[in-house]
Amino acid sequence: MRHKLSKDQIHFIENYLEHSDIYYADIRMEMTDHVASALEAQIQSGDDRVFYEIFKDYMIEHKSKLLENNKAFVRNVDKLIFRNLLKQLTRPLSTVVFILAFFSIYRALNFVDVQSLRTLISMFPIMSIVPFCIVYVILLKWFKLSRFSGIERLGFVQMIVFQLYNFIIIFLGIHVKESGNNAIVALSLALVLTVSLVMIKLTIMIVNQYRKEYKNLI
Amino acid sequence: MANSKLYKGSLVTIILKLLTENEKMYGYQITQKVKQLTNGELHITEGALYPALHKLEAEGLLDIEVKKVDNRLRKYYKLTDKGNKETVNKLQELQSYIQTMQVLINPKMSLE
């Protein structure tokens, strides 16, 4: 009969990995299974030492490789989120939202004086990030998904996008002062609005994906 | 153990090929299958395998399935349609590479 590790032994491995900076639940789950499978195979092949001795020797030999994997995993998660963001941005629906936002903002700008517009523009990054933060925090708390790589790294991606908004706003501030060109202002604000909505959609998509794939872990 | 640098460039092709022959596989199973097929000649480390699997997943070539097995959760990988197509390309590339290397190592073969 094949040897199986007990629940306590599995829990011990998982705890050890968590304290070794493998803090994302999804990667830790996979590493726990890998280590447990390797230890089971070793015990099965006739190693009759106590579990903790076998575990200690295994980790001495493999720990650096496991941690190396952790870093590469995070890089791939970031890449995956950016790819999905790009994919969502290039969808026809995003183009429609962008065009509608552009024309609505362009028309609305006729009724706003330059000073009010400058104030509005300076508040736009914060106004754009707030809906994302509300959706993000509610989903994290509601579904207890806070330590999943894809979801936590979404916050990192949002920070980069936020910096992009700030850059656009600085550019716009100069432009509004110089010429008050409504088309460029509307174009930039429509872009910020579209990216913000896509980020919210992406957050919901990723959260649902994790809930589906990791329903046993949540 | 064989020179791992020579195998490094073929790791993705090895993973994809194994997944065409097995509906779904998990990380440790892949390392053991490779070891078994090569009589222990090739040993894939965790540090090389998982980044490659996660990269393939990020590129949409692999899909995942998480199941509870023996008191823990196990992440299985399986090929997507895109992954199946990519496997054919990768295997052709590898075969072409092997043929080229054989000709270089044994020039007589090019005359045959």
**Helix/strand/coil (H, E, C) string of A93-116?**
HHHHHHHHHHHHHHHHHHHCCHHH
Q: Which residues of A touch B73 (CB under 8 A)?
A: 29, 32-33, 214, 216-217
Domain boundary among A18, A41, A76: A76
Structural domain contains residue B111: no
Structural domain contains residue B70: yes
Interface test with B, best of A6, A69, A70, A216 (most B CBs within 10 A): A69
Look up the ipTM and state it: 0.86
CA distance B31 to A34: 10
Count of domains for chain B: 1
Structural domain contains residue B102: yes
CA distance B56 to B93: 17
Q: What pLDDT does B14 receive?
A: 93
Of chain B, the percentage scoring pLDDT greater than 70 comes to: 92
Closest CB from A30, A36, A79 relative to B58: A79
Structural domain contains residue A1: no
Cβ of B58 within 8 Å of Cβ of A83? The answer is yes
Higher pLDDT, B88 or A134: B88
Q: Which residue of A has its CA nearest to B75?
A: A30
Cβ of A37 within 8 Å of Cβ of B28? The answer is yes
Structural domain contains residue B56: yes
- A45 and A145 both lie in a single domain: no
- A139 and A193 both lie in a single domain: yes
The pLDDT tens digits for B14-62 are 999 999 999 899 999 999 999 999 888 888 888 888 889 988 988 889 9
- A120 and A25 both lie in a single domain: no
Q: What pLDDT does B78 receive?
A: 95
Output the tens digit of pLDDT for each of chain A's 218 residues. Answer: 677 899 999 999 999 998 988 888 888 999 999 999 999 999 998 888 899 999 999 999 888 888 877 777 888 888 888 888 899 999 999 999 999 999 998 888 878 777 777 777 777 777 777 877 887 777 777 776 657 888 888 888 888 888 888 888 887 777 676 656 778 888 888 888 898 889 888 888 888 888 887 776 65
- A61 and A96 both lie in a single domain: no
> What is the side-by-side strand order in the sheet with B25-26?
B25-26, B72-79, B62-69
Lowest pLDDT segment from A191-205, B1-15, B85-99: B1-15
Q: What is the CATH number of the domain that holds B39?
A: 1.10.10.10
Burial call A118-142: b when 16+ CB within 10 Å, e when fewer? eebbeebbeebbeebeebbeebbee
Query: Which token pair is A98?
Result: 């962008």
Q: Does the pLDDT at position B76 exceed 90?
A: yes
Q: Is A164 helix (H, G, I), strand (E, B) or coil?
A: helix
Q: Would you tell me how many other CB atoms lie within 10 Å of the CB of residue B17?
A: 14
Q: Which residue of B has its CA nearest to A8?
A: B71
Structural domain contains residue B43: yes
Cβ of A33 within 8 Å of Cβ of B72? The answer is yes
- A98 and A187 both lie in a single domain: yes
Structural domain contains residue A153: yes
Q: Is A23 helix (H, G, I), strand (E, B) or coil?
A: coil
Residue A14: half-sphere exposure toward Cβ, Cα within 13 Å: 19
- A40 and A140 both lie in a single domain: no
Domain extent at residue B22? 5-106
Q: Which residue of B has its CA nearest to A67?
A: B47
Q: What pLDDT does A3 receive?
A: 79
B111 confidence band (pLDDT: 50, 70, 90): low
Query: Which token pair is A50?
Result: 């106590």
Report which of A24, A35, A23 is spatially closest to residue A66, judged by C-alpha positions: A35
- A174 and A106 both lie in a single domain: yes
- A115 and A20 both lie in a single domain: no
Cβ of A69 within 8 Å of Cβ of B74? The answer is no
Structural domain contains residue A82: no
Q: What pLDDT does A53 receive?
A: 93
- A211 and A147 both lie in a single domain: yes
Q: What pLDDT does B112 receive?
A: 55
Q: Which residues of A touch B70 (CB under 8 A)?
A: 4-5, 36, 40
Domain boundary among A22, A51, A76: A76
- A120 and A18 both lie in a single domain: no
Domain extent at residue A38? 7-76
Q: What pLDDT does B87 receive?
A: 92
Q: Which residues of A touch B32 (CB under 8 A)?
A: 41
- A189 and A100 both lie in a single domain: yes
* B53 contact partners, CB below 8 Å, separation of at least 6: B15, B27, B30, B62, B77
pTM reported for the whole predicted model: 0.78
Cβ of A34 within 8 Å of Cβ of B28? The answer is yes
Q: What pLDDT does B75 receive?
A: 94
* A17 contact partners, CB below 8 Å, separation of at least 6: A28, A31, A32, A35, A66
Residue A184: half-sphere exposure toward Cβ, Cα within 13 Å: 13
For residues B83 and B16, is the Cβ–Cβ distance under 8 A? yes
Closest CB from A5, A73, A213 relative to B54: A73
For residues B77 and B95, is the Cβ–Cβ distance under 8 A? no
Q: What pLDDT does B9 receive?
A: 78
Count of domains for chain A: 2
Distance from CA of A29 to the nearest CA of B (A): 6
Write out the E strands in A37-190: none
